[in-house]
């Protein structure tokens, strides 16, 4: 059993920690089991990792998972319980109770997102504590093979970004809008090119952002309709590998046409702020210190934060099996540790100018950070 998990269980007086769900969306379950399933299963993390799966998934789980032991709900007579209770969730809770009894569990921890109905059933026979998942914090420090998986996903993201930028660069300004092949160049068309590139690289796109002009002033606007000429276009790609399940994340801002002096200055300031943030990331520095360095650049360059304008979000976040995970590079960011993978993504946003954001993905190391992002920054294309 991993040291951090053992210490967590001892500290909280627990025999084991129980997860119930599916591992497509629950990163902790996938991290512990390396078993990818869209159907519900149970994972018991204790002295050994034990899975409880349906009979349909038993063979695959025993072949593919990293669990020490895999049991089937059929061993606990799930069909008979379904016939007698007529309520699937009640029958499943009875199976879970027998499963926990066989594993000699009496004192149990569950995460905050644990199913409420199952919790109410289990607490009748077990001592159950609702706690923050111990695995979420354990996932912060990436093993070398995890960093390599993230880097490979980033390469796919960069290839998709290059295709998006080439598509914009090959367009022409027709009045206030961009046109290509006699038709307006839209956010949807560029996003489709990104998504097709990622699919060819074995990745899936998740809410890709291609937002220009006034839309880019909203950091999370996905972008719709024709893209503007002579205005910044924010492209934010955060793909996930379908095989490794690891995310990457990067943002570039480009412009086709003539850039105003105000937009050029905005871009240069964001670039300087990102450089300051990258220089500040190292083991022992806090996420709040990195964020403060970035904010100081904006203040010094005459871009103070205002309600709904300027630098309106944190400097960055952890990336791994989730696109947003610990640690945080923000106001409450804690001390950084070697092996963490984080984004550095300052931005400035104004309704009259649009938005500019630049984002690189880096590995925290002892005296510096190592940048996993190779794509250069360039405003006018």
The DSSP code sequence of 165-178 is HHHHHT-EEETTEE
Shared domain for 108 and 238, answered yes or no, is no
Could you tell me if residue 379 is inside a domain? no
Shared domain for 153 and 86, answered yes or no, is no
CATH of the domain at 52: 3.40.350.10
Shared domain for 131 and 218, answered yes or no, is no
**HEC sequence for 219-233:** CCCCCCCECECCCCE
Shared domain for 187 and 112, answered yes or no, is no
Could you tell me if residue 377 is inside a domain? no
Q: Which two tokens stand for residue 347?
A: 């931005």
Structural domain range at position 298: 144-371
Q: Answer with the one of 113, 138, 163 that is the final residue of a domain.
A: 138
Shared domain for 172 and 221, answered yes or no, is yes
Shared domain for 256 and 310, answered yes or no, is yes
Shared domain for 112 and 211, answered yes or no, is no
Could you tell me if residue 348 is inside a domain? yes
| Predicted local confidence at residue 305, as pLDDT | 79
Measured from the Cβ of residue 67, the count of other Cβ atoms closer than 10 Å reads 22
The DSSP code sequence of 296-319 is HHHHHTT---BTTBBS-S-SEEE-
Could you tell me if residue 78 is inside a domain? yes
Indicate the SS3 state at residue 44: strand
Tokens 């951090």 belong to residue? 4
Shared domain for 128 and 267, answered yes or no, is no
Could you tell me if residue 166 is inside a domain? yes
| Predicted local confidence at residue 1, as pLDDT | 40
CATH of the domain at 357: 3.90.230.10
- In eight-state DSSP terms, residue 143 is P
Shared domain for 131 and 166, answered yes or no, is no
Give me the tens of pLDDT residue by residue for the chain, a chain 381 residues long.
Answer: 457 899 999 999 999 999 999 999 999 999 999 999 999 999 999 989 999 999 999 999 999 999 999 999 999 999 999 999 878 889 999 999 999 999 999 999 999 999 999 999 999 999 999 999 999 999 999 999 999 999 999 999 999 999 999 999 999 999 999 999 999 999 999 999 999 999 999 999 989 999 999 999 999 999 999 999 999 999 999 999 999 999 999 999 999 999 999 999 999 999 999 999 999 999 999 999 999 999 999 999 999 877 789 999 999 999 999 999 999 999 999 999 999 999 999 999 999 999 999 999 999 999 999 999 999 999 999
**Count of domains observed in the chain:** 2
Shared domain for 78 and 200, answered yes or no, is no
Spatial neighbors of 275 by CB under 8 A, at least 6 apart, are: none
Q: Could you tell me the CA-to-CA distances from 150 to 66, 240, 321 in Å, in that order? A: 20, 9, 9
Q: Could you tell me the CA-to-CA distances from 6 to 33, 140, 340, 370 in Å, in that order? A: 17, 17, 22, 31
Burial 124-160 (b: 16+ CB within 10 A, else e): eebebeeeebbbbebbbbbeeebbebbbbbbbbbbbb
Q: Answer with the one of 87, 118, 138 that is the final residue of a domain.
A: 138
Shared domain for 252 and 108, answered yes or no, is no
Q: Answer with the one of 93, 113, 138 that is the final residue of a domain.
A: 138
Q: Which two tokens stand for residue 241?
A: 């590998």
Shared domain for 122 and 174, answered yes or no, is no
CA distance 20 to 92: 11
Burial 92-120 (b: 16+ CB within 10 A, else e): bbbbbbbbbeebebeebbbbeebbeebbe
Could you tell me if residue 20 is inside a domain? yes
| Predicted local confidence at residue 343, as pLDDT | 98
Could you tell me if residue 378 is inside a domain? no
CA distance 316 to 324: 9
């Amino acid at each position: 059993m991993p040291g951090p998990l053992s210490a967590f269980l001892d500290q909280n007086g627990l025999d084991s920690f129980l997860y119930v769900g599916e591992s497509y969306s629950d990163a902790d379950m996938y991290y512990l089991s390396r078993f990818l399933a869209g159907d519900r299963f149970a994972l018991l993390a204790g002295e050994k990792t034990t899975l409880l799966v349906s009979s349909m998934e038993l063979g695959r789980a025993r072949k593919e998972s990293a669990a020490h032991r895999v049991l089937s709900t059929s061993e606990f007579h799930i069909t008979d319980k379904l016939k007698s209770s007529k309520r699937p969730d009640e029958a499943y809770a009875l199976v879970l109770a027998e499963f926990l009894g066989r594993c000699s569990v009496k004192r149990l921890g569950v995460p905050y997102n644990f199913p409420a109905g199952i919790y109410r059933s289990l607490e009748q026979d077990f001592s159950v504590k609702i706690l923050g998942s111990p695995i979420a914090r354990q996932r912060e420090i990436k093993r070398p093979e995890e960093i390599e998986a993230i880097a490979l996903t980033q390469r796919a993201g960069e290839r998709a970004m290059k295709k998006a930028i080439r598509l914009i660069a090959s367009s022409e300004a027709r009045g206030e809008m961009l046109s290509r092949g006699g038709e307006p160049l839209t956010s949807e068309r560029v996003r489709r090119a990104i998504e097709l590139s990622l699919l060819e690289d074995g990745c899936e796109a998740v809410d890709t952002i291609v937002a220009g002009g006034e839309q880019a002033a909203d950091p999370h606007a996905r972008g719709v309709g024709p893209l503007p000429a002579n205005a910044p276009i924010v492209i934010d790609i955060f793909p996930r590998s379908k095989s490794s399940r690891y995310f990457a994340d990067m943002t570039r801002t480009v412009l086709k046409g003539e850039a105003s002096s105000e937009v050029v200055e905005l871009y240069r300031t964001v670039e300087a702020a990102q450089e300051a943030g990258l220089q500040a990331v190292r083991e022992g520095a806090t996420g709040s210190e990195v964020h403060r360095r970035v904010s100081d650049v904006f203040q010094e360059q005459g871009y103070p934060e205002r309600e709904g304008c300027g630098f309106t979000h944190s400097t960055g976040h952890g990336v791994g099996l989730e696109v947003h995970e610990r640690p945080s590079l923000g106001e409450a960011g804690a001390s950084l540790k070697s092996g963490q993978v984080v984004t550095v993504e300052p931005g400035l946003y104004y309704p009259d100018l649009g938005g500019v954001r630049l984002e690189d993905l880096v590995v925290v190391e002892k005296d510096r950070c190592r940048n996993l992002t190779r794509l250069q920054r360039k405003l006018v294309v």
